[in-house]
């Protein structure tokens, strides 16, 4: 890995990945609403149209079902499209094409066809975009056999994972949290590629594992800092991918810390946190000193009013309090 020294934003990191992959492989193309000349409504595709032109960077009508389906057909025909859905909520308009077509083609065709497709979409609670422009449905896609799901939390991973997703021969749903778009960090060079399925230790610790995804990772790191000042060393795991799920790192961390708090930016009910908690019990039940706990988005549509929206996801303080109670519970148990 050759790290570039300049700090770039999350948004720029993804653009770098797209530009490098489009330069490397002429079959890679970008399809979506306002991704071309406008450079994306969040400036998340800026410069790509000027560099690659209208044959490779395609501005579509507002026809999500149509252009997601077009990307599936193009992927089956030899291209490697990156399709953008402006707001994660709008993916609902193209669900058939992802769930019934993209996910199943390789398997149904007995491997004759591959669908090397990336669907990138921006989600994010915290910008007062209201109930139809904020929710993250990553758990839905993780439930569908044949789709991969990734959700980076920082610029370096965003760049490397986008490159990995583009090079993957399967449909990959790539979630980006808009609230992270301005986050700065150094990123890897053109040859640094992270395939879906590898989690990372974002902060080592011994007392409890905070297993987090997406926007919950910075919140977990904040919680870990707070816990450290109280003498509790939390280990923060950044899952980075839901499918494939990195069971190795989950088993390894929980078997060492004996406690797991799962943190998901999606709704709690029937969500990703439930699946991860179940895996923890399957992988490390005998090592657990406390029930697996989970925190995530409240089971409500995302409210508009900032006064309410700010309470949908638990913050670092709330996570720290929950983690401390789990750890303190062990200490009390030992004392008894």
Partner 1 sequence: MQTTEKMALWQRMLLMRRFEERVIALAGKGHVAGHYHVYIGQEATGAAVIDALGPADMLFSTHRNHGHFIARGADPAAALAEILGRATGCNGGMGGSLHLADPQLGMPHTSAVLGGAPALAMGAGFEMARSGGDRIAVAFFGDGALEEGLALEALNMAALWKLPVLFVCENNSAGAIGAAKGGYPGSIIGTERLTALPAAFNIRHVSLDGNHMEGLRAAASDARKALIAGEGPVFMETNTPRWFGNQGLWPDLRHGPVDIGMATGETPLPGGPDADWFAAHDPILRGARELVAAGVPLSALHQADARITADMDAAEALALAAPFPDRAAALRNIFAGQST
Partner 2 sequence: MQARRLPAEQAMLARYRAMVLIRRFEERVQSLFRAGRVPGLTHLCIGQEAVAAGVCSALRPGDRIASTHRGHGHSLAMGADPDRLMAEILGRETGYGGGRGGSMHVFDAANGNLGTNGIVGGAVPLGLGAALAARNAGKGAVAVAFFGDGAMNQGVVLECFNMAALWRLPLILVCEHNGYGEFTASDDVTAGELSARGAAFDLPVQDIDGMDVEAVHQATAAAVDSARQGGGPGLLFCRAWRFSGHHAGDGQDYKDDAESRAWRARDPIPRQRARLIDEGLETDESLTALEAEISDRVQAAARRALGAPEPSGPLHEKLFA
Residue ranges that bind partner 2, judged by CB under 8 A:
27, 29, 55-56, 58, 60-61, 63, 65-79, 81, 96-97, 100-101, 104-116, 145-146, 148, 169-170
* No. of helices (H) and no. of strands (E), the chain: 12, 14
Q: Which does 112 bind (CB under 5 to 8 A by kind): partner 1, partner 2, none?
A: partner 2
Choosing from 95, 99, 127, 321, the residue that interacts with partner 1 (CB under 8 A) is 127
194 contacts 158 by C-beta, under 8 angstroms? no
Q: Which does 311 bind (CB under 5 to 8 A by kind): partner 1, partner 2, none?
A: partner 1
Q: Which stretch binds partner 1 (CB under 8 A): 127-135, 173-181, 226-234, 327-335?
A: 127-135
Q: Please report whether residue 133 would count as binding partner 1 according to CB under 8 A.
A: yes
Q: Please report whether residue 34 would count as binding partner 1 according to CB under 8 A.
A: yes
Chain center to CA of 138: 8
| Residue closer to partner 1 (CB basis): 299 or 328 | 299
- Nearest distance from residue 275's CB to partner 1, in Å? 23
From 244, 270, 256, 250, select the one nearest 201 (Cα to Cα): 250
332 noted as active-site residue: no
Name the active-site residue from 16, 20, 84, 133: 133
Report the SS3 class of residue 226. helix
Q: Please report whether residue 299 would count as binding partner 1 according to CB under 8 A.
A: yes
Residue indicated by tokens 């670092």? 316
59 has which bridge partners?
32
106 noted as active-site residue: no
Report the SS3 class of residue 100. helix
Convert 89-99 to b/e letters by CB count within 10 Å (16 or more is b).
bbbeebbebbb
* β-pair type (200-203, 3-9): unpaired
- Nearest distance from residue 139's CB to partner 1, in Å? 18
From 250, 319, 237, 297, select the one nearest 278 (Cα to Cα): 250
Q: Which does 36 bind (CB under 5 to 8 A by kind): partner 2, partner 1, none?
A: partner 1
* Interacting residues with partner 1 (CB under 8 A): 34, 36-38, 41, 59-66, 89-90, 93, 127-133, 298-301, 303-308, 311-312
């Amino acid at each position: 890995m050759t790290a570039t020294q300049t700090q770039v934003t999350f948004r720029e990191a993804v653009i770098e990945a797209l530009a490098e992959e489009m330069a490397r492989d002429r079959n890679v193309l970008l399809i979506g609403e306002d991704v071309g000349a406008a450079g994306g409504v969040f400036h998340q595709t800026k410069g790509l149209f000027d560099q690659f032109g209208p044959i490779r960077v395609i501005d579509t009508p507002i026809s999500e079902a149509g252009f997601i389906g077009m990307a599936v057909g193009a992927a089956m025909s030899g291209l490697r499209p990156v399709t953008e859905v402006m707001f994660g909520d709008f993916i609902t308009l193209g669900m058939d094409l992802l769930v019934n077509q993209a996910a199943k083609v390789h398997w149904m065709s007995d491997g004759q066809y591959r669908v090397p497709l990336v669907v990138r979409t921006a989600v994010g609670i915290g910008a007062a975009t209201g109930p139809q422009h904020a929710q993250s449905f990553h758990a839905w896609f993780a439930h569908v056999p044949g789709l991969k799901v990734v959700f980076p939390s920082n610029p370096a991973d965003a760049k490397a994972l986008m490159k990995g997703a583009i090079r993957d021969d399967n449909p990959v749903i790539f979630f980006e949290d808009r609230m992270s778009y301005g986050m700065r960090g150094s990123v890897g060079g053109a040859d640094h590629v992270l395939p879906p399925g590898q989690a990372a230790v974002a902060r080592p610790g011994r007392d409890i594992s905070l297993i987090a995804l997406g926007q919950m990772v910075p919140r977990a790191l904040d919680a870990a800092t707070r816990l450290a000042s109280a003498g509790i060393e939390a280990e923060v795991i950044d899952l980075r991918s839901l499918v494939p799920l990195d069971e190795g790192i989950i088993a390894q961390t929980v078997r060492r810390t004996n406690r797991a708090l799962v943190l998901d930016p999606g709704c709690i009910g029937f969500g990703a946190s439930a699946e991860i908690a179940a895996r923890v019990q399957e992988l490390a039940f005998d090592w657990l000193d406390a029930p697996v706990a989970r925190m995530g988005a409240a089971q409500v549509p995302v409210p508009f009013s900032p006064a309410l929206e700010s309470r949908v996801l638990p913050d670092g303080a709330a996570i720290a309090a929950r983690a401390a109670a789990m750890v303190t519970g062990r200490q009390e148990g030992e004392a008894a």
